[in-house]
Amino acid sequence: MEDIIQLHDRKFKIMIPAEKIDQAVETVAQRINADYAGKETPLFLGILNGSFMFMSDLIKKIEFQNELSFVKLASYDGTCSTGCVKSLIGLNNSIEGRHVIIVEDIVDTGESIEHMIHDLEARKPASIEVCTLFFKPGSYRKTLPVKYRAMEIGNEFIVGYGLDYDQLGRSLKDIYVVTE
């Protein structure tokens, strides 16, 4: 893949090559393997669409018996895109008494995972932790702990490895950052 790519109206340049992503996924997977060894069948819950590639690579490195499922966060009505309450759709499994690991592409302000955790807690799981590929410490506005962060980045906009810019860029195997 080229070092500079064009998606819609913006140019992006390469920031994190696939090999570096793989190392970070390996490190976070080993932490989870150590922490969850011996626990009753944990459930990995991926948030679509952004987490599909991370989930796919992460789960192959998990050494304990597990289940996995995907959910979407959707606005209550189709009219608000940001700053409105989001609901969790597509969760059919009962999570009561289960150890749940939320798998996210990126935690920015923390708004999305806060909604998600609030909804999941009402369903009485044994535990909930968040595993995110990217964490932006400079924009995080919440106090909820985000235990597993594969990589931390600044307040820049990235695409690739599942993350999109208006639906483009998800299939890129490397991470690209928007240029000025």
Collapsed DSSP state (helix, strand, coil) of residue 31: helix
Considering only the stretches 18-26, 36-44, 110-118, 120-128, report the one whose residues sit in contact with ligand 5GP under the rule CB under 6 A.
Answer: 110-118
Q: Which lies closer to ligand 5GP via its Cβ, residue 65 or residue 82?
A: 82
**70 binding partner (options ligand 5GP, Mg ion, none; Cβ < 5 to 8 Å by kind):** none
Out of 112, 119, 123, 168, point to the residue binding ligand 5GP (CB under 6 A).
112
The C-alpha atoms of residue 15 and residue 12 are separated, in whole angstroms, by 9
Report if residue 109 touches ligand 5GP, rule: CB under 6 A.
yes
Smallest distance from the beta carbon of 41 to ligand 5GP, in angstroms?
26
Report if residue 111 touches ligand 5GP, rule: CB under 6 A.
yes
108 is known as an active-site residue = yes
Out of 25, 102, 106, 131, point to the residue binding ligand 5GP (CB under 6 A).
106
Binding to ligand 5GP in span 126-165, by CB under 6 A = 157-159, 163-165
**Catalytic residue of the set 108, 119, 166, 174:** 108
The C-alpha atoms of residue 148 and residue 150 are separated, in whole angstroms, by 6
Smallest distance from the beta carbon of 52 to ligand 5GP, in angstroms?
12
Give the number of other CB atoms < 10 A from CB of residue 127: 12
Smallest distance from the beta carbon of 83 to ligand 5GP, in angstroms?
10
100: nearest Cα among 78, 86, 121, 74: 121
172: nearest Cα among 9, 8, 12: 12
The C-alpha atoms of residue 99 and residue 42 are separated, in whole angstroms, by 5
Q: Under a CB-based contact definition with an 8 Å cutoff, are residues 163 and 3 in contact?
A: no
Collapsed DSSP state (helix, strand, coil) of residue 54: helix
* Catalytic site positions: 108
